[in-house]
Structure 1
Amino acid sequence: MKNYCIVLRGWAFLLLALLMLEGGAACAEEYKDTPGAPVSLEAEELVFDQKTGEYQAQGDVLLRRGDQTLAAESMQFNQTTGDAQAVGHVRLFDPEALVTGERLRLNLNKETGSIENGRIFLPKANFHVAGNEIEKLGEDHYRIQNGTFTTCDGERPSWKFSARQLDVTVGGYAWAKHVLFHLYDVPVLYLPVMGYPVKVERESGFLMPRFGQSNKRGTELSLVYYQVLDRHMDATFYLDYFSKLGVGKGVEYRYFLGHDNDGEALLYHVSGLNGHSDQVAVNWQHMGTLPGQVWLTSKVQYVSSRNYFSDFGEVAGEYNRSRAESVVALSRHWGNNNLAGQFKYIRQLNQDDDEPSVDDDQTLQRLPEVRFNMLRQRLGYSPFYFRLDSSGTYLWQKKGAEVARLSLRPVVSTQFTPGDWLELGAEIGYRQKLYAWSGDQEYKGIPDATLRMGTRLSRVYDVAGDTVSKIQHVLQPEVIYYYVPKVNQDDLPQFESFDFVGRRNTVSYGLVNRFVAKLESPTGQADYHEFLYLRLAQEYDLSLTEHTDLLAAERPEAERWSDLRTELIFRPTRHSYFDLDTRLATSGGGLRTFLAEGGLEDGKGNAASLRYRYRRDEQEYLGAKLDLAVLKPVYLNYEQRYALDESTTLENVLNLEYRAQCWSMFLSWRDRGDEQEFTISFALTGIGKTSHFGSRLEPTM
């Protein structure tokens, strides 16, 4: 027997004395002796039949039990059986759903019943269901005859599904038979059966398809199924159709193993059509800590041909790639020591799938490479410090030498600050290199020395503005002398720049300016913003000898001064920036490189940026990007890349999204000169969209 307690309000308190005499004492007794959640009933008029145990309630009736509330204009409630019948503006509330209708029959004990001309609203998923008759089959289970469902608000939703029979499980799925998909009130698609997720957590199921047209791939269609495997892993299965290339099949697997271990893997295959050969791609990316505090990173990538990148690459740097790299690295850090090793394999790719690349045969592979670094540490109580850099590499080529290379460079350094304003530093190192191949070996030792002098000067200026109260200017000049003697290295193998250390006798200077603003917030809390960074650097050659450093790499043999490098980082506000990096030949010849980029954004989805890149006799390039949200509900993204030296547009990309309350439509147009592509996709709230074909190799994590 359940517990029932009656609560009266308004003029119905007059009836309380009668209930206390005729049955009110029984209510108090049942509430005390019987387990279970109590039921309270409130109404403007309330009549109780003690023989049948039934209440007749009229006017703003509220029946509560636990976290459920039933409201209506009038109600009959039997405290013995738990049956309730409600009429007139019926509303049934609980934390998961709101059920409304004209007439309701409900058994509180079994949580079953039915409602006429009813509606169900699930607020967490914004899910609306309506039907001529809704049956409540259990706590979270409903069955609807001749019903509709949607995630759109309003009496005339933008889209909806209608079905002859619909089963809804809150926190599960809505399963429907003989389904029609409507745009507003117009049916446009028939499905014999379908399932729709009715929860906010991720759920397995089909995503909305993606359609497209490309002059390289032809007509495109992507069907995607998303499968939840566990709380920490899932998989996406792709079935793609390209009328000019073939059929693509693939699976993308993502996992999170706890703490900091996560990764994803992709396997994709395209069956060739119209004379195109099959194409295969494999990609595995992982980051995480193994037992023993060993850090593992991997980026393994394999493609069957260079055509794969040109056919399926979607962004610059991907579709014009000519090689695939695979790297697996392990590292362990303890104290001041760090041990790291990696396997790196580079595969050069030709446009011709049948002939191996000559470059691929000569490509230098590192299988493996191991580095041990001892970070700087003080030698006892002396003013000297010790550091060790070392590496061991096995260099291998398909058609070429196989050489083991060992490099050790111990370094002793010291630093003084006389007068607490001047910084003096000195460093002496010795690079020992050893090569071994085919039973032979060669080694060579090369010393080096560095002297550094610098200081840090600062001054604070009072601005007393509404937002900026003070500005600090920091000036950091430095002068560095490098020396490496000339050592004959003709007997050593020369595979790359690392294998040759040239003589060096140079002096370089650097001048850094920093400007930091102190910002006063309305709450009085201070905030600091570095709005300007400017660095000038240049090197002078004392002996006009060969060099290996970056600043001198582009210096003509007869010039003592290297290019003047200027770096500028300007952040006038939190939402704007301008970056500049230039190299100027001071002895004549003008600019060698000029890289500039600037942009604005308002934090509301509107942004614009412009990028310019110039390398003398190599490249002159302009890139622009625009994001607009001011046209809501239409969102626009536009990108353009233009080669100024060739007067050629490299790429135009336009993305449009129409974002409604319960659905979105995506249009994308891409023009690369030799390829034009147009794609369209949709997303319904509760069903994600297919954002790319399964051929995409760039990671999503």
Structure 2
Amino acid sequence: MPEQRKGKNIRLLYILASATTLYQIPSSAGIDNAQWDCKQHGEEWVCLPPQKAPSEPVLKKKTPPNRPQAIPLKSEISETTPKIIVGQVPTMPEAPSLGTDKSQPEGWTCLADEARSGWRCKLRGTDPGGKPRLAARKTTEGIFELPATFTPQDERIFADLLRLLPQNPWEKYCQSRSATLGIRAMTQSRQNLPLKLESDFSQSIDDEILFFSGNVKVERGQQKLWADALTYDDVAETVNAWDSVIYEEEGFIFASDSGFLDLENDKARLRNTRFILSTIPARGVARRSRFESEALSRHHSVAYTTCPPGNEDWVLHAKDLKINREVGTAFAHHAWLEFKGVPFLYSPVFGYPIDDRRMTGFLTPSFGRSEINGIDFSIPYYWNIAPNYDLTLIPRILSQRGFMLGTEFRYLFKQTRGRFAFEILPYDTIKNATRGQLALFNQTRFNPYWSSHIDIRYVSDKHYINDLGNTLSIASNRHMRSEARIDYRQGGWHFLAKAENWQTIDPNIPKKSQPYRRLPQLKLRYDANLTPWSHFNWDSEFVFFHHQTNLKGHRFDVNPSFSFPWRTAATFVIPKLSVQHTRYWLLDPSADGRKRDSLTRTIPYASVDSGIFLEKSWGKRYLQTLEPRVFYLYVPRQNQDDIPVFDTTTYDFNFSQLFRDNRFSGRDRRGDANQFSVALTSRFLESETGRERLRASVGQIYYLKDRRVTLPGKKPETRRSSNIIGELDWLPWDVLSLRSGAQWNPQTNRFDRGEALLQYKDTDDYIFNLSYRFRRKQLRNIDGSFRWLVYNNLHMVGRWQYSLRDNITLESFLGVELESCCWRLRLIGRHYIRDIRRSSDNAIFAQLELKGLATLGKRVDRFLERNIRGYEISD
């Protein structure tokens, strides 16, 4: 053995087939056919007959009953004539056998090696004995050369490769209908791992070259190679394999005509490969594959897809494909996508992730069409600047308005995270103006107690959201809020300092009705249990209210309270005493017709909340509860007509309003009250699981005095009782549910409000919603939505909102979702009302998701999730 091989951590394991007679190495292995001794002199080859034929290996009879132990390479390769060790060979699986390419002509085929200093020759059929034959001329490969495709033979080889894997990776992938990217580079180097070689026959040539044939297997860590025959160069540490070569690494398996391994430099080359990436999963074919390290591989003339074998719904064709497992990316050059046999997208460079890490490059384009903007097309570019911050540039073309540029910058650090985004339309050809919007978000935690929150939003004009916002999202908010706040929390203490601004984006709201700005707002709260039977709460606030046209002023409010809870297993009683003190300092009160610039109000109030919990068993299946509750509230009346209204409105009356201590939402009014709230709730639960099958609640407020405290322009309330509120939640079957609520007016003996929602959901394939809502003299709407499997993987989706009061369709859309194991297509057409003037718009949007590669088009899935109750994005 050469001296440079000493100390190498390599061992060879010879496994020889049982026999009782002498054997020669088969000629098809390419050894006995070497009838000429060829050497290269410059650019010319000189071939002479060999001086001495190589020694024929002799196979001795097997007598030892056990398999021979692994024998070090040094003891087998010596300067003397090599001998073959024979022993009892246990039954071993045959090397994987795959179909071979029969397109090569018979005779010798010689290719230049990697260094172009020698030749690698292979014989097919009989030796031509020196007779010349015409070799195929190499053609120059252009950018748009005939791409690699999947042939029937490729599909057969993929099926064979699947049988070699522990399990079919597409089985779980297709059931989950989502791409689970997870192909990563090995974390431990394999260059120093021991090498194992197994075969039926072996021979030593010139003390440096080892020849193996018959069920040959090479293994080093998770790197494995099978072949019909191979040679191992002990000096160069290289392996040349041919005929039915299978190469496997962690996450990869390749079938190839021939293979070359450079073990010392950890490189490999394969020709005419079919490969499966089992962890994505994906598969493909390539004319040549080159592994430059454990993490980096390059493939030439590639066809790639995540569809299972036998399915070629979408294919990515590329002249070159580079897969880098170290950074989790793949880049295809001169690539084009084919869907259902139709090419539809070309890119000189196309990058996509192969795991869950982010990567720099162009994101998939988005396109759509609407009546107000025309064709809407954008192609974002993502820059992964660092693991903890990135930048996205979003050029956008609106055919009826012009060019728009958007930018989003995100960052994430140990104590802070946030984003900054803006978009600008330099010249809107319809409005003849520059338009844009801005958004800034930040959250920071300085320590366990102190934190900050910033959320700033701005648009250039009131019509911006309706005109240029994402038309798949409904701008239901009429105002945009911006705020910056600092919080302190420790124990029962909470301190808040905040600045808040509002921008009205509804052009129909006058300035006088726009909300106040809080510049600033300071809050201090404290909660503590004084004893096991007493609780203390302190709630205080100082705020300055600013408005462009209305009265401005400061307000200080403090609201301490003591409660004395008493609870048992079946009852509770919670008496509570409170007082609210408020002081105002007004700026320029005379402009608002007021005489005083300072106002003070102090109001004590009390409440008692009580309830009982009863239960009864109905056999072994159901348990019924009966939960009566009584709430008493007393607030003395105090005239508050001279107090301005900065941030106060009336709560919407619902079931939870029965137990509030104030019917107003802000601090500018403390509603006078002397009232009882009575409610009863009953539930039916499954005894074994505790699952609630039925919940019914009913309640009403009984007023002992009129309510004189009101908002400006409102009359005092003199009713002796409130509406009777009823709620019902029913789950008769696991797939069917009913939620309903109603308010009965005992004075008019009719319903003032009501709503009902019926939902049928049997898995995600069958969803149907139907609802009805009405408020007397305000609205009467019906709303239906669905997602329904109509044929195999074809779903219909839709929604219809209709106003019975106004006889107009508020919104409707209808579309399809077509899904397979490796792709999903969503297509919808939408009609909707854009503003209070009943201006309508029509739009068509499409989304094509090539699973494991990219998503093309608008995020139709998010739109469906918002508009179809029960719809969930699967990935």
Q: What TM-score, normalized by structure 2, do the two folds share?
A: 0.69
> CA, structure 1 residues 126+385, in 2 after alignment: closer, same or farther (shift >3 Å)?
closer
**Structure 2 matches for 1:562-581, cutoff 5 A?**
562-581=722-741
**1:252 aligned to 2:408?**
yes
| Aligned with residue 437 of structure 1, among 574, 583, 586 | 586
- 1:624 maps to what in 2? 784
- 1:43 maps to what in 2? 199
- 1:371 maps to what in 2? 523
| Aligned with residue 590 of structure 1, among 731, 737, 750 | 750
Question: Structure 1 CA distance, aligned partners of 2:777 and 2:526?
Answer: 42
Question: Structure 1 CA distance, aligned partners of 2:400 and 2:335?
Answer: 34
- 1:323 maps to what in 2? 479
Q: Residue type matched to 2:684 in 1? A: F
Question: Structure 2 CA distance, aligned partners of 1:234 and 1:606?
Answer: 40
- 2:844 maps to what in 1? 678
| Aligned with residue 632 of structure 2, among 455, 468, 481 | 481
| Aligned with residue 703 of structure 2, among 533, 541, 564 | 541
Q: Is the 8 A contact 1:8 1:16 kept in 2?
A: no
- 2:12 maps to what in 1? 5
Q: Is the 8 A contact 2:332 2:351 kept in 1?
A: yes
* Deviation for aligned residue 1:362: 5.6
**1:111 aligned to 2:266?**
yes
- 1:508 maps to what in 2? 677
* Deviation for aligned residue 1:630: 5.8
**Structure 2 matches for 1:285-324, cutoff 5 A?**
285-287=441-443, 289-313=445-469, 318-324=474-480
> CA, structure 1 residues 682+327, in 2 after alignment: closer, same or farther (shift >3 Å)?
same
Once the two structures are overlaid, the 10-residue window that deviates more, 121-130 or 506-515, is 121-130
Question: Structure 2 CA distance, aligned partners of 1:680 and 1:338?
Answer: 48
Question: Structure 1 CA distance, aligned partners of 2:72 and 2:574?
Answer: 94
Question: Structure 2 CA distance, aligned partners of 1:415 and 1:186?
Answer: 72
> CA, structure 1 residues 144+345, in 2 after alignment: closer, same or farther (shift >3 Å)?
closer
CA RMSD of superposed structures (Å): 3.8
Superposed CA deviations along residues 20-54 of structure 1, whole A, max 9, x for unmatched, are: 9xx986537699xxx9322222122x123264233
Q: Residue type matched to 2:846 in 1? A: I
Superposed CA deviations along residues 115-152 of structure 1, whole A, max 9, x for unmatched, are: 33223332233343423333444444444444433333
- 1:391 maps to what in 2? 541
* Deviation for aligned residue 1:232: 3.7
Question: Structure 2 CA distance, aligned partners of 1:312 and 1:693?
Answer: 16
- 1:125 maps to what in 2? 280
Greater strand share, 1 or 2? 1
Superposed CA deviations along residues 386-436 of structure 1, whole A, max 9, x for unmatched, are: 32222222111122322111111222332446x975544322222111111
| Aligned with residue 79 of structure 1, among 221, 231, 234 | 234
| Aligned with residue 721 of structure 2, among 534, 552, 561 | 561
Superposed CA deviations along residues 613-640 of structure 1, whole A, max 9, x for unmatched, are: 2111111122222123464433443222
Q: Residue type matched to 1:371 in 2? A: K
Question: Structure 1 CA distance, aligned partners of 2:821 and 2:671?
Answer: 66
Q: Is the 8 A contact 2:365 2:857 kept in 1?
A: no
Q: Is the 8 A contact 1:347 1:360 kept in 2?
A: no
* Deviation for aligned residue 1:267: 1.3
* Deviation for aligned residue 1:91: 0.3
> CA, structure 1 residues 187+444, in 2 after alignment: closer, same or farther (shift >3 Å)?
closer
Question: Structure 1 CA distance, aligned partners of 2:71 and 2:608?
Answer: 98
**1:639 aligned to 2:795?**
no
Larger of the two Rg values belongs to structure: 2
* Deviation for aligned residue 1:198: 4.6
Q: Is the 8 A contact 2:298 2:320 kept in 1?
A: yes
Question: Structure 1 CA distance, aligned partners of 2:473 and 2:845?
Answer: 21
The 3-state SS of whatever aligns with 1:36 is: coil
Q: Which runs of 5+ in 1 are unaligned?
A: 464-468, 520-526
* Deviation for aligned residue 1:564: 0.7
Question: Structure 2 CA distance, aligned partners of 1:630 and 1:286?
Answer: 45
| Aligned with residue 154 of structure 1, among 304, 309, 316 | 309
Q: Is the 8 A contact 1:623 1:642 kept in 2?
A: yes
Q: Is the 8 A contact 1:305 1:350 kept in 2?
A: no
**1:606 aligned to 2:757?**
no
Q: Residue type matched to 1:458 in 2? A: E
Q: Is the 8 A contact 1:7 1:40 kept in 2?
A: no
Total equivalences in the alignment: 671
The 3-state SS of whatever aligns with 1:528 is: coil
Once the two structures are overlaid, the 10-residue window that deviates more, 54-63 or 678-687, is 678-687
| Aligned with residue 827 of structure 2, among 654, 664, 667 | 667
Q: Residue type matched to 2:751 in 1? A: L
Q: Residue type matched to 1:280 in 2? A: G
Q: Residue type matched to 2:408 in 1? A: E
The 3-state SS of whatever aligns with 1:675 is: strand
Q: Residue type matched to 2:395 in 1? A: L
The 3-state SS of whatever aligns with 1:311 is: helix
Q: Is the 8 A contact 1:208 1:681 kept in 2?
A: no
| Aligned with residue 644 of structure 2, among 485, 493, 504 | 493
Q: Is the 8 A contact 1:209 1:224 kept in 2?
A: yes
| Aligned with residue 267 of structure 1, among 422, 442, 463 | 422
Q: Is the 8 A contact 2:367 2:858 kept in 1?
A: no
- 1:523 maps to what in 2? none
| Aligned with residue 500 of structure 2, among 335, 341, 344 | 344
Q: Residue type matched to 1:484 in 2? A: V
Question: Structure 1 CA distance, aligned partners of 2:335 and 2:751?
Answer: 67
- 2:373 maps to what in 1? 217
Q: Residue type matched to 2:547 in 1? A: Q
> CA, structure 1 residues 563+156, in 2 after alignment: closer, same or farther (shift >3 Å)?
closer
Q: Is the 8 A contact 2:847 2:858 kept in 1?
A: no
* Deviation for aligned residue 1:81: 2.6
> CA, structure 1 residues 564+196, in 2 after alignment: closer, same or farther (shift >3 Å)?
closer
Q: Residue type matched to 1:620 in 2? A: R
Question: Structure 1 CA distance, aligned partners of 2:755 and 2:778?
Answer: 13
* Deviation for aligned residue 1:298: 4.1
Q: Is the 8 A contact 2:19 2:62 kept in 1?
A: no
Question: Structure 2 CA distance, aligned partners of 1:481 and 1:194?
Answer: 69
> CA, structure 1 residues 175+530, in 2 after alignment: closer, same or farther (shift >3 Å)?
closer
